[in-house]
Structure formats: C-alpha cells, structure tokens
Structure 1
Amino acid sequence: MGTGAGRGPIRRLVRRLTSDIDELDAENLSENVEAVGARKACDCRSGDEVTVLGRVRSVELSPRDAVATLEAELFDGTEGVTLVWLGRRRIPGIEPGRTIKAQGRIAMRDGQKVLYNPYYELQTAT
C-alpha cells in the first residue's frame, strides 16, 4: 500500500546512476525527437518525407580531386541517418557534437538511410 508511488522516482534515480552514459544520452535524444515533432530514424522508410533531429557523430569531407561532398552522421538515439550535401566541402556549424534538425526525403545507400541536400536547422544547447 502506497509503495508504488515512491518507487518511480527512486527507480529512475537508480537507473541514471547505474546506466551507461551513452545509453542515457541515446534515451534523451530519442525523447527530444518526439518533443519537436520529428520522427525517429528507426521509423523512417525509403521515400518518406521526414524531419529528423539528432546529434552529429562524425563529419566527412570528400577528397580534393573528387566532387565536393560533405557528409554528416546524425544519430537520434535509435538509428543513424547520413546527411549528404552535394557541392559543399564545409558548412559552418555542421560539426561533431552539434544537434541538428533536418528535413528531406529518405533514400537508401549501401543499406544506410540518407538525406541528400537536406534543409537543416542548427539547434541551440538547452
């Protein structure tokens, strides 16, 4: 009797103290996705027009002699989506650790979800 009410906050505290930091970060990212009206990457399918929100894990630039391409791996806590800007070698603010909201049509490349030339918004730290 009455023990169930106090268990929730205590259980959450114990979970936060014993969980892996990456796991907690992924959970937090996933919750933020829903809060801004974006879709989880794991729910996106090829051909879908989507808005995704996540943190940039890595940024790759194409070699000098190749067609200019900037690629950023965006992770939302469920899966990664590769953002690809054709004709660009650098975009200010697109860097590892930055949170980005991106919109576009999901495509598949080598089994990975990709957004080509997405519309994007850099998110401020909260």
Structure 2
Amino acid sequence: MAPRANPSGARAGVLRRVLQRVTATNEDLEDDELRQSSVDAGAVTIADSALRTRVNLQGRIEVLTLNPKGTNRWLEAELSDGTGTVHLIWMGRRRIPGLRAGRRLSVEGLISADDGRRVIYNPRYQLLAE
C-alpha cells in the first residue's frame, strides 16, 4: 500500500505563509519583493555573496552620500536587496546622473570588507526601470 500524502501538513504550510504575510510590516514585504526580484534576475543576494569575489547584485539605493573629505572626493551609496546591504563607492565622482535614493540598480564588482561592512569600489552599474 502506497503512503498517503499529508494534506493537513500542506495546508499548515500555506496557512503559515499567509499569516506571515498578514503580520509582516511594509518594510518586510518590500524586502521580500527586492530579494525575489534579485533572484529572478539571476543576481546573487548580498547575504549569499562571498568576500573577495566578483558579484552581480541588484537592489535599491537606500542612502546616497557625497564624501567631500579633503581633496579625495567620492560618491557613496548604500544598496539593499532585502537580505543585506553593500556600500558602493565611486572614487573621484561627485554625482552620477539618474542615481538617487530609492532608485533600483544593478551592479557588478569585487566585494570586499572595510571596517566590518561590505564594500564594492567603482562598481559597474546599470540603472533599472522604476
């Protein structure tokens, strides 16, 4: 006799996912959407990216900062994909047309660590449709 499927177990899984969506905050739902769109586009998630490797990431700019310290100026952005954040630093740049907080972006570069945070220096980038 073949083993029977457990329909109550399947229903419990569906019910658990529905309850998670209902009780999730807007920020949690946005993070899930960002993570899923990154995975769908074939990008690696920030949480899964290994240090000192070339990565292809996709996410949303959360913070955009111009660092005018001394004569070394650079543009810094914090990219989030719902699983974590990475700091993007364009050395020698004061601005990049179209780049602003809230904009979706695809980047490629070598991910490293600086003072405990993930960083990509001078990444290749592509602005994504809004």
What's the TM-score once normalised by structure 2's chain length?
0.84
2:116 is aligned to 111
- Residues paired across the two proteins, number: 124
Contact (CA 8 Å) 1:72, 1:94: kept in 2 or not?
Answer: no
Q: Does 1:99 align with 2:104?
A: yes
Once the two structures are TM-superposed, the CA of residue 18 in structure 1 deviates from its matched residue by 2.4
Per the alignment, residue 80 of structure 1 pairs with 85
- Rg comparison, structure with higher value: 2
CA distance in 2, matches of 1:104, 1:110: 19
> Which one of 24, 31, 47 corresponds to residue 29 of structure 2?
24
In structure 2, the residue matched to 1:34 is 39
Q: Secondary structure, in 3 states, of the residue corresponding to 2:47?
A: helix
In the alignment, structure 1 segments of 5+ residues that lack a partner are none
Counterpart of 1:41 in structure 2: which amino acid? I
Match of 1:67 among 69, 72, 76: 72
CA RMSD of aligned residues (A): 2.1
